[in-house]
Structure formats: C-alpha cells, structure tokens
Amino acid sequence: MRVVLLGPPGAGKGTHASRLNVNLGVPHISTGDMVREEIKAQTELGEEIKKYSDRGVLVPDEIIIRLLAKRLRKPDCQKGFILDGFPRTMQQAEALDRISRIDLAINLNVPDEIIVQRLSNRLTCRKCGAIYNRLTMKPRRANICDKCDGELYQRVDDKPEVIQERLNVYRKNTEPLIEYYRRRSLLKDVHCDDLMTPPEVTFERIKAITDSVKKEKTRA
Ligand code: ADP
C-alpha cells in the first residue's frame, strides 16, 4: 500500500508512520529524517540543507524531490511505502504523482495549541531518531532512548521561536494539499483534539482506515 501522511509538524506523523511500518510491512520514509541524516553526514548537500532546516523553512523542492525519487527507486519500496513529511508543496505532490500511484492520504488534524505544547516537549533520539514526549510519551529512563540507549535531545527546530514559523509554513504551503487529495477521493481525516489522547487511540483510528483500504484493494 502507498500511503501519504499529511498534518502539521508535531501532528504525530512520525510516531504513527513507524507503527504503520510494522503493521503494513512497507518502509516508513521520512524526508525530515533524510534531511537530518544528510546534515549529520556533513556532505556538501547536508551543509546546504542545514541552512533551511535550522530555520524551520522548507528545503527547495528540487533538492527534496531528487532525494525522495532516489529513495523510492530502492527495491524495498516495490510493495509500497508510508510517506511522512512529503509532499509538502503542490509542486512536490505533482512530482510524486509522476513517480508513483498513491492509494491513500491520511490527514492528521490537530489544533495549533496542541502542536505547540507537543513540539516544545518533544525529545528525539540522537542515534535512532525515535520520538518521545516529556508529557505524553515519556522514556523509561530520563533522556535515554528505550530502544537503543541513545541520548535524547531537543531538535533545534523544536525551540518555541522556530515552531511558530514551521506552523506558518505548513498553513501556507502544505495545507492546500488536503484539498488536492480530497478532490481525488484519496483523503481520510483523523481528528486529535486533546493533548492527552494517547497515541494508541489515534493509531487505532488510522489502522481502521488502512484495514478498510486494504480490503477494498483486494476486492478490486
Ligand atoms: P516536522 O516535525 O516539522 O514535520 P520534519 O522532521 O518532517 O519536521 O522536517 C524537518 C525539516 O526538514 C523541515 O522543517 C524542512 O526544513 C525539511 N524538510 C523535510 N521534508 C521536507 C519536504 N518535503 N520539503 C521541504 N523541506 C522538507
């Protein structure tokens, strides 16, 4: 199955995409993780990308489309993929349509005040990228990753002054994609209006949607 996850930064795309990855058996592809890996590797491209990412603005379409197209050509994407953080602009959505068919777009609908609360409390593992939250998804040991014992840190772009900028960028560039997928009857909405709703509850709703699309696909 080929799934796109839409939603503002901090909506839970990464958290749910990694669960879906186990559930659907297709790779979780996060362009945000790809960007951070490129920066960590200190490649020339990484240096270029860092300028945008640290400020919370989008990396130019041409760069990110090239990175994603390369990733989707790998053999593990043959049976499908879960895209987290791509597409983020109309130009990226059109490019994706040229590369692959999409079966489903899930829109994680989360109000701004919850986003700000969540992101300012988010912790990320330096080693494996796993995501935690000081309020809602605490690690078992303070600042240590449950999965790989890596160190947990606060991302540069999870600082309050950058969060608002990322939300502005989302509203302006990415939100229009909701209608783009809705018009083609590919969109399903999932609402999360409460900060303390455990991620398991939201994931059950997502899973119900992917199960029904899977069923339709086998019938077709
Ligand atoms: P968020 O938590 O804001 O969704 P991500 O981890 O997905 O953050 O992305 C971090 C940064 O990487 C973004 O602020 C942006 O600079 C860059 N980035 C990731 N995906 C894209 C994309 N599809 N297009 C442009 N820039 C991107």
pLDDT in tens, 28-82: 999 999 999 999 999 999 999 999 999 889 999 999 999 999 999 999 999 999 9
* CA gap 95, 86 in Å, rounded: 11
* Residue 93 CA to ligand 1 centre (angstroms): 15
Mean pLDDT of the chain: 94
The residue whose CA has the least distance to atom 6 of ligand 1 is 32
The residue whose CA has the least distance to atom 7 of ligand 1 is 32
Give the position, in ligand 1's atom list, of the atom nearest the Cα of 35: 12
Half-sphere exposure (Cβ direction) of 75: Cα atoms closer than 13 Å: 0
| 119-151 residue pLDDT tens | 999 999 999 999 999 988 899 999 999 999 999
Residue 101's closest CA among 213, 4, 214, 207?
4
Cα end-to-end distance, the chain, whole Å? 14
Residues touching ligand 1 (Cβ under 6 Å) are 9-10, 31-32, 35, 52-53, 56-59, 64, 85-86, 88, 92, 157, 166
